[in-house]
């Protein structure tokens, strides 16, 4: 238990980082293709999108991000060793790990820097994605206020960001495993996890949900224009409907089966869609997925104060009414 964070980083976090990279790269490509196919990025904005996406792709595939990530990981590891790794702490770690000094050194100088390198590399990838979103929000997008996704046609962005749940899971696994080791060694208590959990949720929201708000001003402008256009259209239609069916002006038709009533209902539904348009391509579903991924690795920590056998026994007693 004192070194459970070691196993969590190497056996869980590292594979999940590669899984997240594979899934998100595919989602990024799908989103860019969808922008063009759906017409959200029109002919005027297409060259700007191609330029921005091409520049960021060249940066991502260049040696600079990996080189800086490697240097940062090595510098952080050396700084950590200089500040924390004393002869006494090294001996305690080797004893807890049940390994030889060579195995402990392999972890400190190879495995841990590799993990940090991948974390810095992911920081670069997130930065590239956020820059692309910011540039996209400044383009002349052809947003539709009555789009069924209620985000002007950007609703697929929410699907893309649900795949960040894997990274959220990585963060929570590391935090949870670190707390598990501290609780097992008696250096902290279970109550200490609640402030850390709150901070973890804030960081997850800031990293994986808040960036979608860059479209708020553009979506708000789209909604206002849509309400203006649909209000004018509704006024004309309702005026014509009233003159024809309420006042009886013009040629009369059979009321039963007339498509005018259905058209009036469809127009009302369109106005409702525009009025309920979201100011960011996100919904409660995204918050639930990110929150569940953040909370799931924390749940086993409760077993320190509430052992599984006791929980089952208590549940059975409640069910039996004892």
Buried b (16+ CB within 10 A) or exposed e, 85-97: eeeeebeebbebe
Each domain of the chain, given as residue ranges in start order, spans 16-39+144-246+259-307, 41-140
Q: Yes or no: say if 128 and 60 are a contact pair by the CB < 8 Å rule.
A: yes
Q: Provide the Cα torsion 61, 63, 67, 69; round to 10°.
A: -10
User: In this structure, what are the phi and psi dihedrals at residue 224, rounded to the nearest 5 degrees?
Assistant: -65, -45
Flag residues of the chain having pLDDT under 50: 86-88
- What does the alpha-carbon distance between residue 294 and residue 171 come to, in Å, rounded to a whole number? 8
Name the residue among 270, 278, 62, 300 with its Cα closest to residue 175. 300
Q: Reduce the DSSP state of residue 307 to 3 states and report it.
A: coil
Interatomic CA distance for residues 108 and 156, integer angstroms: 41
**pTM recorded for the entire structure:** 0.83
Give the integer Cα–Cα distance in Å for 293 and 285.
12
Please list, in sequence order, all residues whose beta carbon lies within 8 angstroms of the beta carbon of residue 107, skipping any fewer than 6 positions away.
6, 97
* pLDDT in the model for residue 212: 94
pLDDT of residue 322: 67
pLDDT digit string (tens) for 146-203? 899 899 999 999 999 999 999 999 999 999 888 888 887 777 777 878 888 899 999 9
What are the C-alpha distances in Å from 109 to residues 74, 98, 280? Answer: 9, 18, 43
pLDDT in tens, 198-241: 999 999 999 999 999 999 999 999 999 999 999 898 888 888 88
């Amino acid at each position: 238990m004192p070194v459970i964070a070691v196993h969590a980083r190497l056996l869980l976090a590292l594979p999940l980082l590669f899984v997240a990279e594979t899934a998100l790269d595919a989602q990024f490509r799908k989103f860019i293709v969808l922008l063009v196919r759906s017409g959200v990025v029109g002919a005027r904005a297409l060259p700007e999108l191609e330029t921005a996406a091409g520049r960021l792709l060249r940066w991502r595939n260049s040696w600079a991000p990996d080189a800086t990530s490697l240097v940062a990981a090595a510098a952080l590891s050396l700084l950590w060793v200089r500040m924390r790794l004393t002869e006494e702490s090294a001996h305690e770690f080797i004893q807890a790990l049940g390994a030889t000094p060579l195995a402990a050194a392999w972890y400190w100088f190879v495995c841990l820097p590799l993990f940090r390198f991948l974390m810095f590399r992911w920081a670069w990838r997130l930065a590239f994605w956020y820059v692309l979103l910011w540039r996209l929000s400044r383009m002349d997008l052809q947003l539709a206020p009555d789009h069924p996704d209620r985000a002007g046609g950007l609703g697929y962005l929410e699907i893309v960001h649900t795949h960040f749940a894997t990274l959220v899971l990585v963060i929570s696994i590391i935090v949870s495993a670190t707390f598990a080791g501290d609780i097992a060694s008696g250096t902290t208590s279970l109550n200490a996890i609640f402030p850390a959990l709150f901070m973890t949720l804030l960081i997850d929201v800031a990293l994986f949900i808040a960036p979608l708000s860059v479209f708020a001003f553009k979506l708000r402008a789209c909604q206002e224009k849509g309400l203006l256009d649909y209000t004018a259209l509704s006024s004309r239609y309702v005026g014509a409907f009233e003159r024809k069916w309420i006042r009886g002006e013009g040629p009369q038709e059979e009321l039963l089966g007339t498509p005018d009533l259905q058209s009036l209902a469809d127009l009302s539904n369109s106005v409702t869609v525009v009025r309920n348009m979201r100011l960011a391509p996100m919904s409660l579903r995204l918050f639930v997925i990110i929150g569940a991924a953040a909370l799931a690795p924390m749940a086993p920590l409760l077993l320190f104060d509430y052992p599984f056998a006791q929980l089952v026994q208590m549940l059975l007693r409640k069910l039996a009414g004892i």
